[in-house]
Amino acid sequence: MIKALQIIGCSSGFISQRLKKPHSGNGFSLISSKISCNSAPKSQSFRLIQMFSTQSQSNSDAPSPSSTSVAVPSAGNVLKIKFCQWCGGPAKHEIPAGEEKIRAVCTLCGKIAYQNPIMVVGCLIEHDRKILLCKRNIEPSFGLWTLPAGYLEIGESAAEGAIRETWEEAGAEVEVISPFSQLDIPHIGQTYVIFLAKLKKPQLSPGPESSECSLFELDNIPFDFLAFSSIFITLNLYIEDVKSGKVKFHYGTINKRLGTGPSDIRAFTLDYHLQV
Amino acid sequence: MIKALQIIGCSSGFISQRLKKPHSGNGFSLISSKISCNSAPKSQSFRLIQMFSTQSQSNSDAPSPSSTSVAVPSAGNVLKIKFCQWCGGPAKHEIPAGEEKIRAVCTLCGKIAYQNPIMVVGCLIEHDRKILLCKRNIEPSFGLWTLPAGYLEIGESAAEGAIRETWEEAGAEVEVISPFSQLDIPHIGQTYVIFLAKLKKPQLSPGPESSECSLFELDNIPFDFLAFSSIFITLNLYIEDVKSGKVKFHYGTINKRLGTGPSDIRAFTLDYHLQV
């Protein structure tokens, strides 16, 4: 039913087998741990760290800007909210009564502008033992490979959003089979929700946000040219599951390693990895 | 690995066994269906409909208003955005280049105010074969029972948010064991993410948002006095899993039945129910 694996120092795991660049670590450790209130140490976590990367990367998946509009990063910074979007009044920044965090509160109408994490939804599609990837035609991570995924919209379910994004980015009609992963990225206020899906038709047609869409054999995933840590992790978890003969549902938290930049997509820890 | 149950017209399922109020339907049907792009009919879904309810209910779980501030419903209505929250400029409502939906775009700085669904995170805690519920001390659904849950905040993972909400609403220190469910509610722009958890200590202490916290035996869950459809479904799925001897991860979409009000917490369909 619920797995609570604990594999420590598993140097033969997917990272060391698949990555081609040299790395300084001694393999990696993988621990699926339970989360405890205020007490879960970071060391009791699924650590998957690779410090070398030259790729340009950002964890944002913001829509591309147009000539008349500018996309705003989704991760909230309450101090950047200067005005009320409902009445136009100036905002003050304070902890409202009964709350614990600083909010932007309108000085005229009193409304609070809450900021919450955003869901990025997408599909992991295997077809003829190959995985569908899209080469990004937009920043961030222009020219790098990703799963078809994007922001969930108001009015649609996560599965519907994943299907829509796959259609928009790969021109692929898919059928969702099962939830595969939820990966939270607290420091940028995003949560990736990825579904296993299959092609309804074998046609692919890159949309404006993709320069190319291709199917890759599991042994030939371009791990050195992936766009985001979340995609790197998702693909590795899937391949591990396929090898083990049991595809599971994965929950985890992606934390960037201190002192590393957004382009280091392998410089992270996957904490609190839980599998069903 | 992945279940694709199809149980149609299962009148002996959890609803008919547990609900005490009369209902007009002929039992209910339960179908776990795959989702197809643009083609998944609503009839191929897990339907769980009960039309009689007198409870006051809203699907919103907004923080309580204080004397100096007003909480704003999370579900987006782009036309209500009149001003840019970053520069204060007036907003226009149009479809930006390269997009398909009407957005609020600042006429001065050009920034787009995106609106996205919000995650509500919480815990399903079984202790001594009893489930922890909190009686709401705030609107909406004042006086009705719910699982400890609330909005996910920027900077925390879903599991951390669920642990925090449980502490705030029930004074309970918990340890997350496993993800249990993701239930999307598209019409109000919310997604419920519920984790199975266990008490680290047997103490409970209702916070300001709860008037009471209690442990209920599985056979004595107050189904007639639950606050939200999402909680009604979550508890029913859990009890069904316990009975079956296998607790799974559930994904689904909650759609309200046309013509029913928010107080009818049983007037919904659970569509696209997928289990791992």
Sequential DSSP letters for B215-238: EEEGGG--GGGBS-HHHHHHHHHH
pLDDT band at B238 (very low <50, low <70, confident <90, very high): very high
Nearest Cβ partner for A83 among B83, B97, B151: B83
pLDDT for A19 equals 25
Nearest-CB residue to B274 (from A36, A66, A178): A178
Confidence of residue B241 (pLDDT cuts 50, 70, 90): very high
Give the tokens for residue A75.
């991760």
Distances (CA, A) of B142 to A169, B146, B230, B266: 44, 10, 16, 17
Model confidence over B28-45: pLDDT tens digits?
Answer: 333 333 343 333 333 333
| CA–CA gap between residue B265 and residue B248 (Å, rounded) | 23
What distances in angstroms separate CA B232 from CA B21, B159, B222, one per listed residue?
15, 21, 10
The DSSP H or E segment spanning A237 is helix A229-244
Q: Which of B35, B109, B167, B228 is nearest to A175 (CA)?
A: B35
Closest-CA residue to B91 (of B80, B100, B101, B104): B104
CATH code assigned to B6-60+117-275: 3.90.79.10
Instruction: State the amino acid at position B133 in one-letter form.
Output: L
Q: Do B83 and A80 touch (CB under 8 A)?
A: no
Q: For residue A242, how many other CB atoms are within 10 A of its CB? A: 13
Reading the block at residue B255, the tokens are 């759609």
What's residue A76's pLDDT? Answer: 59
User: Per the CB < 8 Å rule, is A64 touching B158?
Assistant: no
Residue A167's closest chain B neighbor by CA? B37
Residue B213 has pLDDT above 50, yes or no: yes
CB-based contacts of A48, cutoff 8 Å, min separation 6: A15, A28, A30, A233, A236, A266, A268, A269, A270
Residue B225's nearest CA partner among B148, B130, B135 is B135
Report strand pairing: A267-275 vs A190-199: unpaired
Q: Which residue has the higher pLDDT, B220 or B61?
A: B220
Report the chain A residue with the minimal C-alpha distance to residue B167. A37
> Do residue A276 and residue B276 have CB atoms under 8 angstroms apart?
yes
pLDDT of res. A100: 82
d(CA B113, CA B186): 19
* Mean pLDDT score of chain B: 78
The distance of B137 to chain A (nearest Cα, Å) reads: 13
CA count, 13 A, side-chain hemisphere, B189? 19
Q: Which residue of A has its CA nearest to B255?
A: A157
Rounded CA separation A151/A159 (Å): 12
Nearest by CB to A163, from B37, B76, B175: name it.
B37
- What pLDDT score was predicted for residue B136? 97
Which residues does residue A199 pair with via DSSP β-bridges, in sequence order?
A174
Which one is the CATH code of A6-52+117-275: 3.40.50.300, 3.90.79.10, 3.30.70.2740, 3.40.50.40? 3.90.79.10
Q: Looking at chain A, which residue has its C-alpha nearest residue B84? A: A85
Which of chain B's residues have a Cβ under 8 Å away from the Cβ of A72? 86, 111-114
Q: Is the pLDDT of residue B10 over 50?
A: no
The predicted pLDDT at position B257 comes to: 85
How many CB pairs (< 8 A) connect A and B? 269
Say yes or no to pLDDT of B66 above 70: no
Residues of B with Cβ-Cβ distance to A153 under 8 angstroms? 101, 116-117
A112 forms bridges with which residues in the sheet? A105
* A160·B186 Cβ contact <8 A: yes
Query: Smallest Cβ distance to A251: which of B90, B179, B271?
Result: B179
Fold entry, domain A80-113: Ubiquitin Ligase Nedd4; Chain: W; (2.20.70)
Total residues belonging to chain B:
276
A24: exposed, middle or buried (Cβ count in 10 Å: 0-12, 13-18, 19+) = exposed
Q: Give CA–CA dist A212/B131, Å, rounded.
A: 50
pLDDT tops 70 at residue B153: yes
A-chain residue closest to B91, CA distance: A85
DSSP structural state of residue B155: T
Q: Are A194 and A123 in contact (CB under 8 A)?
A: yes
Under DSSP, is residue B157 helix (H, G, I), strand (E, B) or coil?
coil
Q: Do A179 and B86 touch (CB under 8 A)?
A: no
Residue B62 is predicted with a pLDDT of 36
Give the start-to-end residue ranges of the domains of chain B. Answer: 6-60+117-275, 78-113
Q: pLDDT at position A68, please? A: 42
Choose the closest CB to A110 out of B70, B117, B167: B70
- A12's CB contacts (< 8 A; 6+ apart) are A27
Strand, coil or helix: B23: coil
Maximum mean pLDDT: which of A32-36, B68-72, B94-98: B94-98
Q: Which amino acid is at B205?
A: S
Contact call for A35 and B175, based on CB within 8 A: yes
Find chain B residues with C-beta within 8 A of A37's C-beta: 163, 166-167, 173-175, 200
Phi, psi of A177 (to 5 degrees): -105, -40
Q: Indicate the burial class of B225 (C-beta count within 10 angstroms; 0-12, 13-18, 19 or more).
A: middle
**What's the pLDDT at B20?**
27
**Which among A188, A251, A272 is the top mutation candidate for probing chain B, defined by the most B β-carbons within 10 Å of its own β-carbon?**
A251
Cβ–Cβ below 8 Å for B105 and A159 = no
Going residue by residue through chain A (276 aa), what tens digit of pLDDT does each one get? 333 332 222 222 332 222 223 233 322 333 333 343 333 333 333 333 332 222 233 333 433 333 344 443 334 589 999 999 999 999 999 999 888 889 999 999 999 999 999 999 999 999 999 999 999 999 999 999 999 999 999 999 999 999 999 999 999 999 999 999 999 999 999 999 999 999 999 999 999 999 999 999 999 999 999 999 999 999 999 999 999 999 999 999 999 888 887 788 999 999 999 999
For range B201-228, the mean pLDDT? 96
Query: CA-to-CA distance for B223 and B72, rounded, in angstroms?
Result: 28
> In terms of CA atoms, which chain B residue is nearest residue A3?
B178
**The domain made up of B78-113 is a member of CATH 2.20.70.10:** yes
